[in-house]
Amino acid sequence: MLTEKEILEIANKYVNLIEKESKIEMIIVPYRTLEKPYGFIYSYTSKKLFETKDDRYAIAGNAPFLIEKETGNIIVFGTANVREYYIEEYEAGRWPK
């Protein structure tokens, strides 16, 4: 089982990859992190939006993602529904499809 620190390192590496591809500085939103028995769920956004709250800096497609405690696997949720929908689907064994 991975530690919380190891999981956060995986999450930061994942967000850094997205940042490099998009050329937009990103940040994990700390107050949106959710711990579950099976892993941690993270949300991220552009650093400028986080700092300024100015919608001009909003980004599209920044789906929340889960890092599983047992494996370190990254499970990307969607953006069409609220985060809770994807959590329920994952817990029911229906996500990812």
Residue at 97 is within a domain: no
Domain range for 72: 4-91
In a domain, residue 38? The reply is yes
Please tell me the distance from the alpha carbon of residue 33 to that of residue 44, in angstroms, as a whole number: 9
pLDDT higher than threshold 90 for residue 97: no
The amino acid occupying position 51 is: E
Q: Are 30 and 42 in contact (CB under 8 A)?
A: no
In this structure, is residue 22 part of a structural domain?
A: yes
User: In this structure, is residue 30 part of a structural domain?
Assistant: yes
Using the predicted structure, report yes or no on whether residue 96 has a pLDDT greater than 90.
yes
Each residue of 10-66: pLDDT tens digit? 999 999 999 999 999 999 999 999 999 999 999 999 999 999 999 999 999 999 999
Q: Which residue has the tokens 């050329």?
A: 23
Structural domains in the chain (count): 1
Rounded to two decimals, what is the model's pTM?
0.95
Give yes or no for a contact between 76 and 68, defined as CB atoms under 8 angstroms apart: no
Domain annotation covers residue 96 = no
- What's the pLDDT tens digit per position in 65-75? 999 999 999 99
